[in-house]
């Protein structure tokens, strides 16, 4: 390649960069990183969204069960009395991030406290929606003794004497 007396900038760039074969091969394959990113980025983002969703789901499931346990303990110790199901549902909803309590009741007999509640969540994450249903539900119910063990022991001692 012969240059004129005053070579242009373009001619100088060609002379400097394209004489080196390694640089020429690198510049020749344009857009390869873009094509790789098209496949990798959605997979990485999908995994990140899935991990965040699982963290939220496990948090709410744990908090939901703990709320029920705490409410049952308060009922058993006569610290709280629920007048209607809405008050019960509000206590169950406390500290939940993505779930919403849709139904719940608590019944107290002489021997047992029987709570039940249902919470649901509807999240539409595009990538995760292919693998799991967008509507998730947590149902919980239980049967707990309403009589304290120490009361039974005292009653037993009284009946013996």
What's the confidence (pLDDT) of residue 61? 93
Q: Quick check: 141 pLDDT over 80? A: yes
What's the confidence (pLDDT) of residue 64? 92
Per-residue burial over 53-91, b = 16 or more CB atoms within 10 Å of its CB, e = otherwise: beebbeebbebbeebbeebbeebbeeeeebeeeeebbeb
What digits encode the pLDDT tens for the residues 82-97?
A: 888 888 888 888 999 9
Average of per-residue pLDDT across 57-78: 89
Q: Quick check: 78 pLDDT over 60? A: yes
Q: CA-to-CA distance for 141 and 114, rounded, in angstroms?
A: 7
């Amino acid at each position: 390649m012969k240059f004129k007396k005053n070579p242009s900038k373009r001619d100088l760039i060609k002379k400097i960069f394209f004489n080196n074969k390694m640089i020429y091969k690198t510049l020749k394959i344009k857009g390869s990183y873009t094509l790789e990113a098209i496949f990798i980025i959605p997979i990485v983002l999908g995994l990140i969204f899935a991990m965040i969703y699982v963290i939220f789901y496990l948090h709410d499931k744990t908090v939901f069960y703990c709320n029920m346990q705490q409410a049952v303990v308060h009922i058993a110790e006569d610290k709280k009395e629920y007048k209607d199901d809405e008050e019960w549902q509000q206590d169950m909803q406390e500290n939940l991030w993505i779930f919403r309590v849709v139904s719940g009741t608590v019944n107290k007999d002489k021997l047992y406290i029987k709570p039940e509640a249902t919470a649901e969540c509807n999240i539409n994450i595009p990538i995760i929606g292919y693998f799991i249903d967008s509507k998730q539900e947590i149902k919980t119910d239980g049967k707990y003794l309403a009589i304290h063990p120490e009361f039974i022991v005292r009653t037993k001692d009284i009946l013996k004497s």
